[in-house]
Every structure is written in structure tokens, then in C-alpha cells.
Amino acid sequence: MGRAPEQTNSCHWAVQANRAMNIDFASLYYNLIGNIVGSDELLNLTYYNNGSTPMGQQSLIIRPASRSYDSVAYSFSFGYGDSGDGNCGANPCSDRSYTTVLLHGNYDYVSHSTTWDPSITDHALPASLYRSAKPSWFGLLAWPAFGPDPKNPTILLNNNIPAKYCYEQGLMPNCLAGGGDSVPPSVPKNLRIH
């Protein structure tokens, strides 16, 4: 977010400001529930100076702790400025983004665990916080596709979604039940540029 295009001719930017969830000092009262935070790619980052030394990993960093810009990747970062680690403009940086957040049922790739809010004893997450049932366009694919398994929150689900599945089958845009026809559209003909 806000890093500008990645500089492929200079590997510096590819490993800078790596934060799976970056909640700055002015972002208050967020609800972060049932997320998968980070990825295998985040865990496999290396320093840009040699490309082989693994980058440090940290699950959580909160302002005013000193945050690394290019040697540590973070799952959660709270309370820093949007233009840098020490600059919050006219407003003082603070940890209020962390003290006002609801973090519940988030799987963190760095710790390989799901973290629950200690004041909430119910650890049962629904299959979706948006849909009441599996959508027909998921066809035979697993539901939910991602997140902690509603039946066993210690298991992380990481399955296909319809768009990825259809793309890999070469059947875009709609190839599953309820999503329309499984035949790709024909190539347009007689196109002209005006």
C-alpha cells in the first residue's frame, strides 16, 4: 500500500516495508476477525544485500517499539505513521490503533497459530462472516476456502476459490455450477481501432 511500483531492476524495494497488516496511528476501532495474516512468501523473504540470508520474522510490533524498515517482516504492525516509522505529521504517533482493535481468530503465518481475544470465550467462527451458506457458484469446491476451519479452528484451510480454479482449467469466466456456462467466450473478430 503506497509503496509505488516495485522496482524490478533494483531489488531494494521488493524487501522493504513488509507488513501483512499495517494499521497506522490514525486507524482506530478496527475489527480484524478470522483472517489469514501473512503467507509462505512472507516467510521466505531474504535480505536484499545478498538474496540468501533469511529476513527476520515477527508476529506483532506496536508503536513506540523500534520497527525495522528492511530487515524484519511483520504480521501485524500498529501505530506508526503512513510516511515512515517516526513521522506521523501533525498528530503524534501512538499505540491507540492497537488498544482499540478487536483481534480475534486470526491465523498468523509467523507463529503458525490462531490468536484469539482473551475476553471472548467463543472460538467458533462461522464459515463466512458475509454469507449465511455456501454460494452455488462454489460448485464442488471446499467451503470456506480460507481461514481457520469452523469445525476445528487449529486447522488452517487453504483451498481454491472459483476464479482460480476456473482460470487454471482455462474455463474463464464461469465454469462452476450456478456461475453460468462452462464454455469460454469466442475470440472477438473484426475489431477496429478508431
pLDDT tens per residue across all 194 residues of the chain: 444 444 444 555 566 678 889 998 888 999 999 888 988 888 888 877 667 888 889 999 998 888 887 788 899 999 887 555 555 666 677 899 999 999 999 989 899 888 999 999 998 878 888 888 888 888 888 888 887 777 776 677 778 888 888 888 888 766 775 544 445 556 667 766 65
**Which of 105, 123, 141 is the last residue in one of the domains?**
123
Asked if 40 and 107 touch (Cβ cutoff 8 Å), the reply is no
Strands (E), 12-109: 19-23, 31-33, 36-37, 56-62, 72-78, 102-104, 106-108
Whether 194 is in a domain gets the answer no
* pLDDT for residue 86: 57
State whether 18 and 90 are in the same domain: yes
Q: How many domains does the chain have?
A: 2
Position 84 scores a pLDDT of 56
Domain ranges, residue 160: 124-185
| Domain end position, chosen among 81, 106, 123 | 123
Residues 79 and 134 in one domain: no
**The predicted structure's pLDDT at residue 178:** 54
The reported pLDDT for the residue numbered 4 is 44
3-state DSSP helix/strand/coil % of the chain, to nearest 5: 10, 20, 65
Domain membership of residue 80 (yes or no) is: yes
- Are 76 and 147 part of one and the same domain? no
End residue of a domain, out of 123, 148, 164: 123
Prediction pTM value:
0.69
Task: Specify the pLDDT at position 186.
Answer: 65
Question: CA–CA distance from 187 to each of 163, 184, 190 (Å)?
Answer: 20, 9, 10
